[in-house]
Structure formats: C-alpha cells, structure tokens
Structure 1
C-alpha cells in the first residue's frame, strides 16, 4: 500500500490492524516503559499503513467514549461479550486461527452500534487483552513454560515472553500465579500500573485495587517494586505475608492465611471475623445483579466462615446466621436489609 492509498482512507489489512491493536492496548495500560514507547513509535513510522491503522483504532475507541455513562459495568460487559462472539462468528472460519486481539477488533469493526456504549466501563486494555474473564467467570491459563495463571472474576491480562524475561501484565482484576522453573533462568514478573511483583518462588496472588495493587504471597518469596521509585524501594515478601503497592511505595501488609488467600481459586470465600459489608462487597464481584445495602446499617455485623462465590447459597447462609433479609423484588437488584425485630 503506497502513501496515496493510505491517505485516501483504505482499510489496513488484518495483520496490520492486529498489530495496531496490540500497541494501542499496551500504550493504554499504564504499565509501559521507555523501550515500549520507542518500539511503538518505530512501528508506526515503519509504514504509512501502520500509522493509518493506529489512527483508525484510536478514532474508533474515541467514538465509543461519549455515550457510555448510563450503563453499569455488567451491562456493558454483556454487550461486549455478545459483540465479540457475534463478530467472531461473522468473521468466519479464518477467525478461529486468529488471536483474541483480532477477534475483538473484528467485532468492533463489524458491530459498532452494539459496542457504542462500552468505552468507559470496558476500555481497550480490557477489550484487547490476551486473556480475560467475565463477571462470575474464572479461567486457568497454562503458559508456554508450564506456569499457570488463574484469572478471577472480571480480570484481564497480557502475556509477553522474551529471551530475557517472562512478563504478565495485569490490566484489571485478580490473578493467582503458579510459577514453573525456567531452564533459561528468566525472571517471572507480574506488572500493574503501580509496579511489579517478581517471583523468587512459585505461588502468589496479585489484585488490582482502585488505588493500588495488593500482593499476597502463599509460597516462597516475591519482590515487589513501585513503578516510579528506585530499586532501593523494592521489598521482599515471604510466604504468609502481603504488601500494598503504589507507584511510589511498597508498604508491608498484614499476615495472611495462604489457604484463605487462594480460596477464591476454588470458588470459595474464606473470611474470619469480617464486617458484613466487606463480605457483601466481595460477593458482589461475582454477580451480574447489583447488591444493594446500607453499609452503616450493617456495619456492626461480623461473620466468619467459608461461602460459595457463585449462586445464592452464600446470601442464604448469611441470612440464616445474621439478622438480615435478602429481597429480590426488583429485577437485577438484590437488596440486603437489617431484619426488623418483631414487636
């Protein structure tokens, strides 16, 4: 394709679109380094169709941004999932040989109206991730070196293996990492917008929170490093320990029970003397319906136990153990209220 054709607006070929989607996802992740930015720039400059594909996808995502404010996260994710599924079907047999990145791009190009409202609650980093889960879904990914990643509900990762490093970028949600030994001695790194958690052993969980990243070490040792500080700010966390990572600090966290920290990977929520509102917040992560409750009215209620993460059994068990009622009168909304004592 020559410069004149590119400037005339001809659609770039599929391979170029797929590569542009990769760079757009990486650049929007918040986890880039200088080498990534330079590599992206070189790719865009290498051919006119590269720059055209880049601008085309940027424009597409920009057009999706405005009308999304009225949708809940679950509604938008449902639209996205339907669009991707329909787009893959529309792409035909060829799409089965393409990566998840290409399938998402194809769905976006073919089904623009359906994706129109999805931007704010499902940005490109989510749509274009190498691996992702829906609300309530979990997934096990076996990597090339036999390391395993368990994705929790509503999570997304990218995977990049090179000759010198094994890197997983957590875009959103939570993962359990089970690291395999590597004959080439390549470090295994989980990166988030806040920094990195590098394995010195085998098992740990990483969860992206609203204002930081939580790392729980369930076996061996992990080095956590804030993104914007010197290496001297890194901190080693041993099994049974935790850390809270921001861009400027790695703060030691409380001791953890390794079995409880990994319980979600077995579809269980393991809590000990936890305030009920926090328990409900955790359960809400796995449900498409909204859990509505007055935090102040329930704040003094505490609970210990092991609860299933999916279905209504956990809410029924809580209602049996505590003075609360579970009401489902409004479609899409489950209300938890304090039980009024009989007069």
Structure 2
C-alpha cells in the first residue's frame, strides 16, 4: 500500500467519527460516497480509521469496512453510535483524529530541522561526550542537540533539544570569555565548572554539580550553589531541589520518582524510536515510580502497563496506551 497523505488520513478520520456518532444524512452519505470512490487510497484510509477505533475500544463492536476481494469496493459499513457512549466517544475520536492525521510523520519532523541547526546532535538512544573548542566538555543525553556561538566576547551555547551536562573550562589569563547556555528564553552562566540544563515542557531545569551558576530569565536572576537547582517557565523562575534522578542517565539509568504517567512516558520516549502515546486522559494523570535501564526502554513500558492495568496497541512508529 502506498503512503497515505496527511490530508487523506485526516479526512478519513473525520468521516469515521461522523459515522460512529450518528447516521449520516442523505447529503453527507452522498459526499462520503463520492470522496470514498474518488481514489482507492480513500477507501484504504477509511478502513484503517474504522479499524483503529475498534481496536481502541472507542466504538461499538460493529464490523469495520471490509476491503477483501469478495467485498464490493463501494461498501463501507457505518458504525452506529449509542447514546450512552457518545460523550466518551467524542473525546476518544478527537484524540484519534489527531493520531491518524499525524501517523506517518509524528515525532519525525523535528530531527532534520535539529540536525540543520545543531553543531552536535545525538540520535535516539545515543549518549555521547563532545569536547568544545575551548576545552569544555558536554555530555549529551539521547535526542539532544546544541548549537555553538563562540566569539571574542563570550562562549555561548544554545540547547536546542534534550539534556546536557557541562564541564566548563574555567576562566584564566588565556580564557576570559564567560560561558553561557541559552535554553527556552533563559541564560545560565557558569561561575564554576559543572552544571546541567534540561529542557522540560515549555521551560528548563538547571542543576549545579560543582561550584555555582547564575540563571537569568525574564528579568529574574538566581545564583545557585553546588547541589542546588532551578526551574523556569511561564515567566517564573523558581528554586527547586536537585534529585539524583536528574543525573541517572549518565550512568545508563532512568529513574521515575512519583511522576505523572504523561511525564514518565515523555522521558521513556527519549530513548526509543517507537514513540509511546497515552490516549486515556485519566491514565496520563496516574502517578508512577520505577528504575529502568536505558538500553531496555521497552521493559519500562511493559512494567507501566502491568502496574497500571493499561492496554497497549503497537502501530508502525508508535505504541498507544489506553
């Protein structure tokens, strides 16, 4: 089967939603039939959309459209909705429409763009150390990227993605330029030798391992001493304790400590190409803990499913939890 375009997938998902929620009007039936018969790919996409809903358990268990050779190509079986499931269905359908529309490219588009911007970049599951022109060292977590902006006045690095640990070449007679890391609108300036910056949601986490740093964000400034941390996002800069889990990746481990499932899954996704997506909104809010080897991220998902009693469905490039 040829690659289905995003537009075809999205339109197929919308028709599947309408047919599941209610009977189509005569006008809608004619429009759906015309669209379906316009291109064989349209029928393929509609069948896939209906099958996905059924596998997720979001629809009544009617038969999906059958594309077998014995079935006329013009036949698509509508999936009637019941009043008791309509409210729940609307939520699931909305999430599924997005998934179908983005299925071929979900989480893949940023990589070429990051590679183009970055001076150093790590692939999925890769952790590496790089030495900068000034002798500083940077440990890059999986799916991380940095860009260098060194000039006569400063040593500035932009953290484009992921998590980086900096061991800074100190100021000296020969090296007088300040060392700064820019991330999500904030600047962390080294006043010592070791610190880390981690992009987190719409902001960043900063942790100091040796000596101190100055963090500036939206007109606010904090000086952090050894074993102190800060988080900035949404126009706020706040202190926060440093947890061992923040550095476990350098030893090959992922530590999840009383975090919502949505955050735990976001961390696991850093280390594998099979993207995990949590469909069930209630499940995303559940709190979980655990310690997992980074070279076996699939075990983390298996453990989460067993602990939460969740189901999973594997699709090309992604696994859905619900």
* Shorter-chain TM band: 0.5 to 0.7
1:234 aligns with one of 213, 221, 242: 221
Give the structure 2 partner of residue 130 of structure 1: 119
- Measure the CA separation in 2 of the matches of 1:319 and 1:246: 31
1:290 aligns with one of 270, 275, 298: 275
Matches within 5 A, 1:138-287: 138-183=127-172, 184-226=175-217, 229=219, 233-246=220-233, 249=236, 251-257=237-243, 259-287=244-272
> Aligned with 1:253: secondary structure?
strand
TM-score, length basis structure 1: 0.55
> Aligned with 2:126: secondary structure?
coil
Q: Which is higher, the Rg of structure 1 or of structure 2?
A: 2
Give the structure 2 partner of residue 72 of structure 1: 105
> Aligned with 1:280: secondary structure?
helix
Aligned residues: 219
Q: Could you say if the C-alpha distance between residues 296 and 177 of structure 1 is closer, same or farther in structure 2, counting changes exceeding 3 Å?
A: same
Whether 1:308 and 2:280 are equivalent positions in the alignment is no
> Aligned with 1:297: secondary structure?
helix
Q: Could you say if the C-alpha distance between residues 193 and 297 of structure 1 is closer, same or farther in structure 2, counting changes exceeding 3 Å?
A: closer
Contact persistence 2:191–2:214 (CA under 8 A): yes
Which of the two has greater helix per residue? 1
- Measure the CA separation in 2 of the matches of 1:127 and 1:207: 21
CA apart distance, 1:207? 2.3
Give the structure 2 partner of residue 59 of structure 1: none
Q: Could you say if the C-alpha distance between residues 174 and 300 of structure 1 is closer, same or farther in structure 2, counting changes exceeding 3 Å?
A: closer
* Structure 2 residues without counterparts, runs of 5 or longer: 1-100
Contact persistence 1:271–1:305 (CA under 8 A): yes
Contact persistence 1:224–1:245 (CA under 8 A): no
Contact persistence 1:194–1:247 (CA under 8 A): no
CA apart distance, 1:308? 2.0
Residues 123-170 of structure 1: CA deviation (Å, up to 9, x unaligned):
xx6413211123333221112333211122222212233344222122
CA apart distance, 1:252? 1.4
Residues 283-327 of structure 1: CA deviation (Å, up to 9, x unaligned):
12322223132353325643333212343122233345x143563
Deviation larger for 307-316 or 191-200: 307-316
- Measure the CA separation in 2 of the matches of 1:306 and 1:206: 22
CA apart distance, 1:263? 1.2
Residues 80-102 of structure 1: CA deviation (Å, up to 9, x unaligned):
4xxxxxxxxxxxxxxxxxxxxxx
Matches within 5 A, 1:51-70: none
Residues 191-243 of structure 1: CA deviation (Å, up to 9, x unaligned):
134021011122222123442222122332110112x53xxx32112233222
CA RMSD of superposed structures (Å): 2.9
* Structure 1 residues without counterparts, runs of 5 or longer: 1-67, 81-121, 338-343
TM-score, length basis structure 2: 0.59
Contact persistence 1:202–1:219 (CA under 8 A): yes
Matches within 5 A, 1:74-153: 74-76=107-109, 80=112, 122=113, 126-153=115-142
